[in-house]
Amino acid sequence: MMAPLLVLALFAVVAGLIAWSRWLSGRRWAAGGNLLVATAAALAAGIGWGAARHLETYETLTGGQAIASIRVERVDAGRPRITLTRLPSGRMQVIELPGEEWRLAVRELGWTARAAVLGLKAMYRIESLDARESSAADGASPVAVTLAGRRGVDLWEGAVGGSAWSAAVVPRRLTTEWQPAIHGERFEILLDGEGLAVERRGLPASAGEAAGR
């Protein structure tokens, strides 16, 4: 996606140089036309670059795929520690959880029919790990641990806010059900057209044997 934007930016520079040359030669109207073309190309390249940079923080959605696995640990009876492994890349993040229950939040970036004709595919991004105390039936707000980076033009937030991006972007925020942060538990997170699903893998065999002794 970056290559066409680089070509567009180069075109804007060339058009600007031509406009300057024609201005110096006294061809004012021609120079004005070239300047308008250069400005439009530069604006399109700038906006497109910011959008492309943001899309680099997303993964392509193929449907029914496992997007992450989660392992829960407690070290020295302290707060739960979660190891989140992104799939299929295998990139890991370790988060100390400020609570007894967790859920994963994901942003899904879909496209309107008008934008889909350009060949754009639905995308997703693991956004945050939310935590709360297990007794949080009183409606206390969960704590969100941000997992995603921030760069470029945020298309998802723009579409939610009703900006011009809403003509192309269909945003959804998905969350898993709340899960207990029990030491040794393992989970797999699946994403499909219906939303997020959690498959509980339970304790590893060695941990289960140790617990049974």
What is the pLDDT at residue 160?
Answer: 87
What is the pLDDT at residue 155?
Answer: 85
Q: How many Å apart are CA 4 and CA 10, to the nearest integer?
A: 10
**pLDDT per position as a tens digit, 70-122:** 999 987 667 889 999 999 888 999 998 888 899 999 999 999 988 888 788 88
State CA 60 to chain mean position distance.
10
**pLDDT per position as a tens digit, 138-179:** 566 788 889 988 888 888 898 888 888 888 999 999 999 999
Through-space distance between the first and last CA atoms of the chain, rounded to whole angstroms: 57
Residue 77 gets the label, from left (phi > 0), alpha (psi -120 to 50) or beta, of left
